[in-house]
Amino acid sequence: MLNVYLSGEIHTDWREQIIAGAQGLDVTFNSPVTDHAASDDCGVAILGEEPNKYWHDHKGAMVNAIRTRKGIEDADVVVVRFGEKYKQWNAAFDAGFAAALGKSLIILQQPDHDHALKEVDAAALAVTREPREVVEILRYVLTGKLPG
């Protein structure tokens, strides 16, 4: 059985594609909360308002860390998706965190980010371009079967 954490971009359906593609495989998936508004506001929604936006964000990031740290620490494989937009520093942070814990890292990104991601990619066991490739790796790792 493989425990896989799906970190990074939350604006496309790459997680759903991987989970659907991996049906029938002995995999458990975990991921951060992908509801953007909930993720941004969880701190103040539960622990009380903050007039200062910095502390508003801080309280939320801390609460989310309870979930993301457990997700990464329990994982055998951490997949980190970098999308086309935004800074996505939390994705790179998760990759570094996972690398330091010795997790098997799979990066999912487009070639135009290759240069900017070279240090992240250098810590990975696979750099993929499509969710389908992640699924094919999981299938091969679990069953020894290659695509086609």
Question: Considering CB under 8 A, how many residues would be counted as binding its own copies?
Answer: 80
Residue from 6, 94, 108, 131 that binds its own copies (CB under 8 A)?
Answer: 94
Residue 77 CB, nearest approach to its own copies (Å): 6
Residue 62, interface with its own copies (CB under 8 A)?
yes
Question: Binders of its own copies among 3-32, rule CB under 8 A?
Answer: none
Which of 12, 26, 46, 84 binds its own copies (CB under 8 A)? It is 46
Contact 18, 7 (CB under 8 A): no
Contact set for its own copies, span 128-147 (CB under 8 A)? 128-129, 133, 136-137, 140-141, 144-147
Q: Between 107 and 126, how does the x/- string for binding to its own copies read (CB under 8 A)?
A: ----x-xxxxxxxxxxxxxx
Distances (CA, A) of 76 to 4, 5, 91: 6, 8, 17
What are the distances in angstroms from CA 71 to CA 44, 106, 119, 129, 136? 23, 15, 23, 23, 22
Looking at residue 111, what DSSP letter applies? G
Query: Do residues 9 and 110 make contact, with C-beta atoms less than 8 angstroms apart?
Result: no
